[in-house]
């Protein structure tokens, strides 16, 4: 067994432990412990294994793209895991055995996806994230949550089925050209120029639609509003910051094959179209949105569009897109976890019933408001820097129309989202529905503060090692490594 698989085996071992432990109070603490252990483990694996994958590790390996994803997922999951014990303590009426077990399985499968160097193994890992998050969506055990769960599983599985078909087309593109077929990414990239162009293009389309469904790109986004709206805030955070990031990395891996085959232009036009459409759909549905959790779902659709738009520009735009993946994930964590605190206290997701949150939940409401400014690209937060990087790259590449559309859609999102957020935090609650001020525990807000601190840090300073890792990943994708 490759030593890299310890990054998968350790969370799975904790998942089995969570399944076996009888104590409802002890079990949630396995989540942050598993996340903390992952930090030195990943550092050891990166330093000892190196990049790219060592000989013999054809199906798993660490390349610049996978290393960046695993590092991000470890930090992101740690913050979310630290929120889990406080959340589950407040939801003591619900058994948490399945919840904790599936969260750890989900973490393991995200790590497996980051390590995957084989198209088939990537597909297995991304499908496993779908199956492991299904029970998490049903945590509230009500008719609306089971409807959202089935919609998520059905649409996600259809998308992944298309991705599987695209994987077959990718393999057949080699056979049709008279080459020895292989679904190992390094082998495909090495012989990309010799692949059958029609079959390769068909594969790229299917893979983009399949993994784009997991990202929640429009028009394949229809699972997001229900799933994010009905899921616990913690689950919404890991979906918006974890699953979508893995799917985006999958898209970039297949884009790199198109680049190596000399057909980058075809893939870029597809990515640009999906990017602009997703930003437009997200922006339009955020206008006059009355449900603040569904609003966050449409915000996720919009930001998936930003990721695709930046990647379609290439060069510095691709760097900005990878940086935005980190910024979006951390910011979505701030928004979903603070929204979870607000939802739990008010008992509603509608702005007709949730107003004046600053008066009763000052810490959570302040974090929710700051998260809004961050996610809409206000300085000095990280999304401003990554979005500005993408905009500057588009202008530098002569894509003035794309840059103009990008700015116009960002303005639409700011206006539409701002109306809902300000109503939640600053409005005047109806006297008959106004809840008493709550005492917010430090454990409920500390992980959110940590995520916001990361968003602020990435807006004012990018550590040298992180900047180097981002450029290495961008060059790896475009074949200039």
Terminal-to-terminal C-alpha distance of the chain: 28
pLDDT in tens, 130-167: 999 999 999 988 999 999 999 999 999 999 999 999 99
- Lowest-pLDDT choice from 38-52, 113-127, 176-190, 399-413: 38-52
What SS3 state is found at 116? strand
Determine the structural domain holding residue 465 and report its residue range. Answer: 3-477
Contacts with 445 (C-beta within 8 Å, 6 or more apart), sequence order: 338, 341, 363, 364, 367
The distance of Cα 219 from the centroid of its chain, to the nearest Å, equals: 18
Q: What is the DSSP letter of 441?
A: -
Question: Assign residue 479 a region: left if phi > 0, alpha if psi is -120 to 50, beta otherwise?
Answer: left
3-state SS of 131-173 is HHHHHHHCCCCCHHHHHHHHHHHHHHHHHHHHHHHHHHHHHHH
From residue 94, alpha-carbon distances to 87, 91, 139, 345, 444 in Å are 11, 6, 8, 17, 18
Better pLDDT: 103 or 57: 103
Which of 366-369's residues contact partners 24+ apart within 8 Å by CB, and which partners?
A: 366/425, 367/334, 367/338, 367/445, 367/448, 367/449, 367/452, 368/334, 368/335, 368/338, 368/339, 368/342, 368/421, 368/424, 368/425, 369/421, 369/425
Say how far apart CA 285 and CA 298 lie, in whole Å: 7
Look up residue 285 and give its two tokens: 């549905």
Per-residue confidence (pLDDT) for residue 434, from 0 to 100:
55
Q: Provide the 10 A C-beta neighbour count for residue 455.
A: 26
Whether the Cβ atoms of residue 409 and residue 279 lie closer than 8 Å to each other: yes
Q: How many folded domains does the chain comprise? A: 1
What is the structure's pLDDT at 174?
84
* From 47-56, 65-74, 388-397, 411-420, the region with the lowest mean pLDDT: 47-56
Alpha-carbon distance 85 to 92, whole Å?
A: 11
Residues pairing with 60 in the sheet:
116
Helix (H), strand (E) at residue 355: none
Say what the pTM is. Answer: 0.96
| Cβ proximity of 238 and 171 under 8 Å | no
Say whether pLDDT at 52 is over 50: no
pLDDT in tens, 223-264: 999 999 999 999 999 999 999 999 999 999 999 999 999 999
Lowest-pLDDT choice from 56-60, 280-284, 342-346, 457-461: 56-60
Which pLDDT belongs to residue 298? 97
Q: In this structure, how many other beta carbons lie within 10 angstroms of the beta carbon of residue 323? A: 24
Q: How many CB atoms lie within 10 A of CB 203?
A: 26
Give SS3 for 118.
Answer: strand
What span, in angstroms and rounded, lies between the C-alpha atoms of 460 and 327? 12
């Amino acid at each position: 067994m490759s030593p890299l698989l310890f990054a998968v085996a350790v969370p799975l071992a904790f998942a089995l432990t969570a399944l076996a432990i009888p104590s409802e109070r002890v079990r949630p603490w396995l989540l942050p412990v598993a996340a903390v252990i992952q930090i030195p483990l990943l550092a050891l694996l990166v330093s000892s294994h190196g990049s790219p994958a060592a000989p013999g590790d054809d199906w798993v390996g660490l390349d610049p793209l996978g290393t960046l994803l695993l590092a991000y997922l470890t930090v992101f999951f740690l913050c979310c895991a630290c929120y889990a014990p406080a959340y589950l303590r407040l939801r003591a009426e619900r058994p948490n055995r399945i919840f904790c077990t599936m969260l750890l399985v989900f973490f393991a499968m995200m790590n497996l996806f980051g390590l995957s160097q084989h198209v088939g193994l990537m597909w297995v890992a991304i499908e496993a994230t779908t199956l492991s998050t299904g029970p998490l969506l049903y945590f509230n055990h009500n008719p609306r949550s089971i409807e959202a769960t089935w919609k998520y599983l059905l649409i996600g599985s259809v998308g992944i089925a298309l991705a599987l078909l695209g994987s077959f087309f990718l393999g057949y593109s080699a056979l049709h050209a008279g080459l020895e077929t292989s679904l190992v990414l390094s082998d495909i990239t090495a012989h990309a120029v010799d692949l059958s162009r029609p079959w390769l293009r068909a594969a790229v389309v299917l893979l983009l639609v399949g993994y784009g469904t997991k990202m929640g790109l429009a028009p394949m986004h229809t699972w997001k509003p229900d799933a994010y709206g009905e899921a616990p805030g913690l689950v919404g955070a890991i979906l918006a910051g974890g699953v979508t990031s893995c799917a985006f990395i999958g898209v970039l891996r297949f884009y790199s094959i198109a680049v190596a085959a000399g057909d980058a232009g075809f893939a870029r036009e597809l990515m640009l179209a999906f990017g602009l459409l997703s930003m437009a759909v997200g922006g339009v549905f955020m206008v006059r949105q009355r449900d603040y959790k569904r609003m966050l779902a449409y915000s996720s659709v919009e930001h998936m569009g930003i990721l695709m738009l930046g990647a379609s520009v290439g060069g510095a735009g691709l760097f900005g897109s990878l940086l935005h993946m980190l910024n979006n994930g951390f910011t979505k964590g701030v928004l979903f976890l603070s929204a979870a605190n607000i939802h739990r206290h008010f008992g509603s997701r509608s702005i007709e019933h949730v107003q004046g949150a600053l008066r009763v939940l000052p810490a959570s409401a302040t974090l929710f408001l700051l998260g809004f400014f961050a996610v809409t690209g206000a300085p000095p937060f990280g999304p401003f820097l990554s979005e500005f990087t993408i905009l500057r790259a588009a202008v530098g590449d002569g894509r003035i129309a794309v840059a103009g559309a990008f700015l116009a859609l960002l303005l639409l999102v700011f206006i539409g989202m701002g109306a809902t957020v300000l109503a939640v935090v600053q409005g005047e609650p109806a006297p008959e529905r106004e809840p008493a001020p709550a005492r917010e525990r430090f454990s409920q807000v500390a992980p959110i503060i940590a995520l916001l601190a990361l968003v602020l840090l990435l807006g004012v300073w990018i550590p040298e090692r992180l900047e180097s890792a981002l450029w290495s990943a961008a060059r790896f994708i475009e074949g200039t490594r």
